[in-house]
Chain A
């Protein structure tokens, strides 16, 4: 035992490789991974840091004299910007309703598609089609559907007595937000349907059989088997979709452009407007930084919640 330990100590002291060789050995792992690391840093970190730095500079494309460092000026302006706070409120509204409705309809669709029926494969393929439509195309399409000059929806609503006259809800300050939300729900249902269907199909069938023999009806089976099995998938998809949708300005830009009178402006579309309409990149970067901070804190909250739920098990 003692001699064994001595031998090992002796081995550690007797490193007689030349210094150069030892240096080369020690740096080898870093050298091997350097190309990948450098690539990642250039592609990911550089744009991020540059973007963040814009938030503290006065960058206006139309003003060649701009570009100077202005500290927290943008954030001071932002704290007084009523449009920003309205956009923040709209973002909650837009994200909340979009995610909720996408989830509910996606779950219903997944439950329907989980049952075998004739022609299921074709129906599944058709159901997932909206996801394949480019978002700008979807936005244009829905904008036309809502337009009483070319689209049928206002006329249908008028015929049903829900509208006094066929008008465009996208130009109604009270309702304009719902246009993009409906388009977004249509576009995003397949995502929930696909992921929830995959999770549903992973539930062992004999659990349902055991439960039905144990005396559980359809509702009880859903509550005590389907929901617990879907819970992890629901948590992760809702988290992901919340982040994506709150950043997702395409439909709003195409359908309402944030209007009328900024009533359907969300933070993401407000950033787009600031950057590419007013060409104020500095201010747009400052708003983007705030949005980033909000989303990161939201994600952290969910992660902590998840850890807590797991530890409770």
Chain B
């Protein structure tokens, strides 16, 4: 197990820069999730840590030792691929023991380590099968088994659950988390699925356009997103955004939406009077059927029951937004409804998209 330090890492393909100076310190035993949309550079960063991509500039250190120029096999890390990358001509047992056989580990030691990993992952009855005779979830387990028999310094996961169906993904997610709790190994996990990021991570690294947008615990990112990208990416259904102008009149402030509607704000925010800004609120914070002085009339567009709760699509003038409620009274709702946007749950982002 090891710490991993990434210092000002850059990557370019020809003249196209992909990563623009990434700094990240991963502590020993930490589970870090790199999350972001496709093309944000998260997989490239992971592959650079693995040694599968050359580093254009900057430094990667594993346990304080610079590894930029080390071959993947000399970095003592294990990786689980999205496609599983199992050796199709080898049995499950041979797949799992391949790395140990390459290292000329003693036969009885290989047998005991592989058996241990197999029972931990529930693979015992499948050891003599070929990968093609396994289901997706079983293959995923073999790929993890192949990683854990090595007892490497760190585990790298490259979207390992993307090829599984929703139910299996949920189940494997829990297994990965449990495995990490058992082994306590440093892990870096790449995903575009914010739910996976939220549930698995000790710390989330949100990336976009080759730049780290925010690093923090899952709830930090959820409750206090640093910018519009993180606010919109984390959470499902996603945060509502209203574009408009921030106005101050005396002691109170208000927010004039582009549609002409003015939202009264209880207090003031750290914004210039008259500046353009974006207001964000999570759907579950929108209060439906409210009363009070700051209530607005919104028209109901659509009601989506998810079973667990209800997503209500609303319109404030021309501006569409969503509310999420657990209250089933709103299932048959239509026409107009009174909504309130509690000021304590509002997020303000300035013209540059930064949270203020």
| A binding-site residues for B, Cβ under 8 Å | 204, 206-207, 209-217, 220, 224-225, 228-229
Kindly count the residue-residue contacts between A and B in the assembled complex, taking CB atoms under 8 Å apart: 54
Closest chain A CB from B114 CB (angstroms) = 13
Given A224-B87, A224-B98, check contact A217 B73 (CB 8 Å).
yes
A214 and B102 form a contact (CB under 8 A)? yes
**Assembled-state Cα–Cα distance A95/B243 (Å):** 78
> Of A211, A213, A217, A228, which contacts B78 at CB under 8 A?
A213
Tell me whether A215 and B102 are in contact (CB under 8 A).
Answer: yes
User: Quick one: which of A206, A220, A229 contacts B83, CB cutoff 8 A?
Assistant: A206
Return the chain A residue nearest B71 by Cβ. A212
Q: Which 6 A-B pairs have the closest CB atoms?
A: A214-B99, A210-B85, A206-B85, A215-B73, A228-B89, A215-B102
Specify which of A204, A210, A212, A229 lies most central, judged by the most chain B CB atoms within 10 Å of its CB.
A210
Distance, CA A96 to CA B146, complexed state (A):
42
Q: Please give, as numbers and ranges, the residues of chain A lying within 8 Å of B150 by CB-CB distance.
A: 214
CA distance A207 to B230 in the complex (A): 34
Max chain A CB contacts within 10 Å: which of B85, B86, B98? B85
Given contacts A206-B85, A209-B81, A225-B87, contact A214 B98 (CB under 8 A): yes
Cβ contact within 8 Å between A204 and B83 = yes
In the bound complex, what is the Cα–Cα distance between A217 and B71 (angstroms)?
9
Least CB distance, B160 to chain A, in whole angstroms: 12
Q: Is B50 an interface position by the 8 A CB rule?
A: yes
B86 proximity list for chain A (CB < 8 A): 210
B234 to chain A, nearest CB (A): 29
Please tell me if B52 contacts chain A, counting CB pairs below 8 Å: yes
Residues of B within 8 A of A (CB): 50-52, 71-73, 77-79, 81, 83, 85-87, 89, 98-99, 102-103, 146, 150
Closest chain B residue to A206, Cβ basis: B85
Which residues on the B side are within 8 Å of A209 (C-beta)? 50, 52, 72, 79, 81, 85
B85 touches which of A207, A215, A220, A224 (Cβ 8 Å) = A207
Q: Given A214-B99, A215-B73, 11 more contacts at CB 8 Å? A: A207-B85, A211-B87, A211-B98, A212-B71, A213-B72, A213-B77, A214-B150, A217-B73, A220-B102, A224-B87, A224-B98
B contact residues around A206 at 8 Å (CB): 81, 83, 85
Which residues on A sit within 8 Å (CB–CB) of B102? 214-216, 220
A38 to B79, CA, bound (A): 60
- Roughly how many angstroms separate A206 CA and B51 CA in the complex, as a whole number? 13
CA distance A224 to B99 in the complex (A): 12
B73 touches A213 (CB 8 A): yes
